[in-house]
Structure 1
Amino acid sequence: MRVIDPGALAARLVLERPEETPDGQGGVERSFAALATVWGRIEPVSARAAEVAGTLPVTVTHRIWLRHRADLAGGMRFRKGARIFTVLTFRDPDETGRYLVCDCEEAKP
């Protein structure tokens, strides 16, 4: 079990949830709305670059720690200024209901 110092949760993040609105043609438009402001710890994990359409975008994965929330769901994202971290998975690292660890992905142009 990894012990986390609550003082290490020093990054102010906005938790955003996806919202879908009908586009009038049978599809939907997806946007994101702020749900809450939380404090977290951002740990870079890995980076990879892959050529896509003649560009070389870099995808960086991060581990984001935060206090436990019952309303977190896949597809949500965290925003820190202009940076966006998409939540891929999340878990309670020691099953005590104190913290959550989110595996996130940040795309960089």
Structure 2
Amino acid sequence: MSAREGQGAGALTARLVLEAPSPTPDGAGGETVSWLPVASLWAEMTPLSGGEALAFERSEPTIRWRIRFRFIAGVEPNMRLRLGERVMEIRAVYDPGGAARAFLECLAEERGQ
């Protein structure tokens, strides 16, 4: 058992909301995306790196996170996690325990903080 697998729920100190996109036709051939809450969860957030990204011809700060929480089926990279007003876009999802399905880890990116 690795040190990471041995960590229990005591490390899960951030209360996050998992959100899924809900596209709605905008009447002009496109769509508007609303975000619907899927689950409220306790998570461990570990910053991996920080930097800047170019968005709409201006530089904005970014933080990359590893976010660990108890296993929930159906978590996908098109979802996001919210901590109050802060939004972390999920880039990758993996189950570090394999078939044990105890925890999930996400790599996520937060912009503009």
Relative to the length of structure 1, the TM-score reads: 0.91
> Which residue does 1:56 correspond to in 2?
59
Q: Residues 53-101 of structure 1: CA distance to partner in whole angstroms, max 9, x if unpaired?
A: 2x33111100000000112112111100111011110101121210000
Structure 1: runs of 5+ lacking an equivalent: none
Closer/same/farther in 2, CA of residues 88 and 24 from structure 1, 3 Å limit: same
2:74 maps to 1:85: no
> Which residue does 2:109 correspond to in 1?
105
Per-residue deviation, 1:20: 0.3
User: After superposition, where does 1:15-30 map in structure 2 within 5 Å?
Assistant: 15-30=18-33
Per-residue deviation, 1:33: 1.0
Match of 1:5 among 4, 8, 12: 8
* CA RMSD after TM alignment: 1.4
Closer/same/farther in 2, CA of residues 24 and 65 from structure 1, 3 Å limit: same
The structure with the greater share of residues assigned to helix is: 2
Q: Distance in 2 between matches of 1:98 and 1:92?
A: 8
Closer/same/farther in 2, CA of residues 107 and 24 from structure 1, 3 Å limit: same
> Percent identity of the aligned residues?
36
Structure 2: runs of 5+ lacking an equivalent: none
Q: Distance in 1 between matches of 2:107 and 2:8?
A: 19
Aligned residue type for 1:107: R
How many pairs align?
A: 108
Q: Residues 10-43 of structure 1: CA distance to partner in whole angstroms, max 9, x if unpaired?
A: 1100111000000111111111011111110110
Partner secondary structure for residue 59 of structure 2: coil
Per-residue deviation, 1:51: 4.9
2:46 maps to 1:39: no
